[in-house]
Amino acid sequence: MAVTLKEVAQRAGVSRSAVSRTFTHGASVSEKMRRRVERAARELGYSPNALASSLTTGRTKLIGLVSNNFHNPIFLEVFDLFTRGLQDRGLRPLLVNLTNETAPENSVRMLRQYSVDGVVVASSTLPPGFSKAFRDANVPVVHSFGRYSSAPQVHIVSIDNVECGRMVARTLVARGYERVAFLGGPESATSTQDRFAGFMSEMSLHPQVKTTHTFADAYSFDAGRNEMLRLLQSEPAEAYFCGDDVLSIGALSAIESSGLSVPDDIGIIGLNDMEMARWENINLTTIHQPIREIITSSIELIVAMLDEPDRYPEARIFPSSVVERGTLRPLPDNAPSTG
């Protein structure tokens, strides 16, 4: 169906190698030959078959983009940035949706069958073993938004979720809250575990502040709303650290429909700083996660691994910061406001 190299060679009256070489960067071809071949190619509408060439070169320029997070709006931005970043470098994202998938082997096998040059795992709700499965299969892998580890087995590009938890704790304490709570995402997510651990460890330095915790089923609006509705039935805390912005928005909705007001009755702080957090009618105080930087760095890393597959695994951790908006009470007068 499609025009092949052979036909171009015939038309131009040259060998197949000559045609191949004009389309291979850095190969030895004279100007005259190049023009001749290019003309024939143009006339025939030829463009080389990337898959056939991958057979000998061993490079497909295919990158597996693996995620199980197709419900948190922040991941639309993640996919946007990843796909554009990869495309800009001539790489092609093969998207793998891991939702409901428990066996990493299947995805690993599939991606190997397609000879992907590398894999980016973008999710915080997958166990670290998942990305390791790719490494074990000897395919270069970067785990973006994964769990920080001081002895990483695969490349990690992420934030320090433990530190985020601490940061929130300090923020709430500084504002004088005396009963605070953690409203986390699914307890199985490493991000939830780490944020929780950091939060609790910092709060333990302030024993006068009563600290409680609870977990929602998912990082979703409904989960946040339902959990908060439940909490409002007994004695709620003064401020909640929600494990994620979507959870926060669900919680806000529950509070408002109970006739209470934010931040006067209850304070909320989220995590992610998704686009929506800026929206006037949400205006969520939250922790900014530097998505753009994480993704840029992840792409640089996977590109580097193409040339150096056995590169020693590293963890790249980007700093997060509090974004003051309207869902926490302001700092008391004796402290300088950061808003």
Partner DNA sequence: CCAAAAATTGCAACCGGTTGCAATTTTGAT
Partner DNA sequence: ATCAAAATTGCAACCGGTTGCAATTTTTGG
DSSP code string of 237-295 = -SEEEESSHHHHHHHHHHHHHTT--TTTT-EEEEEE--GGGGSTTT---EEEP-HHHHH
Interface with a second copy, residue 102, by CB under 8 A:
no
Interface with a second copy, residue 58, by CB under 8 A:
yes
Interface with DNA, residue 11, by CB under 7 A:
no
Instruction: Report DSSP state, residue 24.
Output: S
Interface with a second copy, residue 71, by CB under 8 A:
yes
| DSSP element (H, E) containing 306 | helix 291-307
Answer with the entry of DNA, a second copy, none that 70 interacts with (C-beta below 5 to 8 A by kind): a second copy
Between CA 263 and CA 248 the distance in angstroms is 13
Residue closer to DNA (CB basis): 18 or 111: 18
CA 234 to chain centre: 36
Interface with a second copy, residue 325, by CB under 8 A:
no
Interface with DNA, residue 56, by CB under 7 A:
yes
Report in angstroms how near the CB of residue 305 gets to DNA at its nearest: 19
Report in angstroms how near the CB of residue 17 gets to a second copy at its nearest: 19
3-state secondary structure of 305: helix
Interface with DNA, residue 138, by CB under 7 A:
no
Q: Kindly tell me which residue out of 10, 11, 23, 298 binds DNA, with binding defined by CB under 7 A.
A: 23
Report in angstroms how near the CB of residue 97 gets to a second copy at its nearest: 4
Footprint on residues 30-49 left by DNA (CB under 7 A): 30-33, 46, 48-49
27: number of Cβ within 10 Å:
12
Q: Which stretch binds a second copy (CB under 8 A): 27-35, 81-89, 174-182, 292-300?
A: 81-89
Interface with DNA, residue 307, by CB under 7 A:
no
Q: How far is CA 321 from CA 15, 128, 265, in A?
A: 61, 25, 25
Number of residues that bind DNA (CB under 7 A): 28
Answer with the entry of DNA, a second copy, none that 260 interacts with (C-beta below 5 to 8 A by kind): none
Q: Kindly tell me which residue out of 10, 11, 15, 101 binds DNA, with binding defined by CB under 7 A.
A: 15
Interface with a second copy, residue 217, by CB under 8 A:
no
Residue closer to DNA (CB basis): 36 or 325: 36
Q: Kindly tell me which residue out of 279, 292, 332, 335 binds a second copy, with binding defined by CB under 8 A.
A: 279
Instruction: Report DSSP state, residue 300.
Output: H
Interface with a second copy, residue 317, by CB under 8 A:
no
Nearest to 73 by CA among 300, 328, 278, 339: 278
**Contact call for residues 246 and 221 (beta carbons, < 8 A):** yes
Report in angstroms how near the CB of residue 15 gets to DNA at its nearest: 3
Q: How far is CA 65 from CA 98, 121, 122, 123, 298, in A?
A: 10, 6, 7, 10, 11
3-state secondary structure of 224: helix
Between CA 43 and CA 22 the distance in angstroms is 15
Residues that bind DNA (CB under 7 A): 2, 4-6, 14-18, 20-21, 23-24, 27-33, 46, 48-49, 52-53, 55-57
